[in-house]
Amino acid sequence: MSDITDVEDQRAEGLKAWGWVSYLLHLIVAVGAVIPGAQPGAALLIIALVIDLVKKSDSDGTWQASHYAWRIRTVIWAGVLYVLTAPLWVLFVLPGWIAWGLISIWFLYRIVRGMVTMNQSRAINA
């Protein structure tokens, strides 16, 4: 029985480690989005999203599954909101700046909230 427990513990720790890598990549992007001129680029966000998409099925049935889904939804919604508000930059610079600033703050909030909850080894509630 302890072999099964050891395998499950290793699986849980592995999922948590990948979750931390993803959250840290998201955090770098989120902080960069909030601080003008500090944009690290979309590559880190894409790497984090790929990690989440690949590892999501491994997390099924664990409390980490909610975190993988949380990060994926956060990226998708942020992307949709950025695309929808992009015309504001062309038509009116100030509203575009305000919209993207609010989206970036929302993105940062979700990443920090997820990190705090994962640090407590708890599922995150949407």
List pLDDT tens digits, range 41-71. 778 889 999 999 999 999 999 999 999 999 9
Task: Answer whether residue 77 is part of any domain.
Answer: yes
Whether the per-residue pLDDT at 1 is higher than 70: the answer is no
pLDDT band at 125 (very low <50, low <70, confident <90, very high): confident
Asked if the structure places residue 40 within a domain, the reply is yes
Residue 45 counted as domain residue: yes
Q: Is residue 125 part of a domain?
A: no
Within a domain: 124:
no
pLDDT of the residue at 41: 72
Torsion sign, CA atoms 28, 33, 34, 39: positive
- Beta carbons within 10 angstroms of residue 118's beta carbon: 22
Q: What is the pLDDT of residues 87-107, one digit of tens each?
A: 988 878 888 889 988 999 999
126 within some domain = no
Domain with 68, as residue range(s), is 2-119
Distances (CA, A) of 48 to 75, 78, 82, 92, 104: 9, 14, 18, 32, 17
Contact 123, 12 (CB under 8 A): no
Does this model's pTM top 0.95? My answer is no
Q: Residue 84 above 80 pLDDT?
A: yes
Q: What is the pLDDT of residue 34?
A: 78
**Cα distance between residue 110 and residue 126, in whole Å:** 10
Cα–Cα distance, 56 to 58 (Å, whole number): 5
Total number of domains constituting the chain: 1
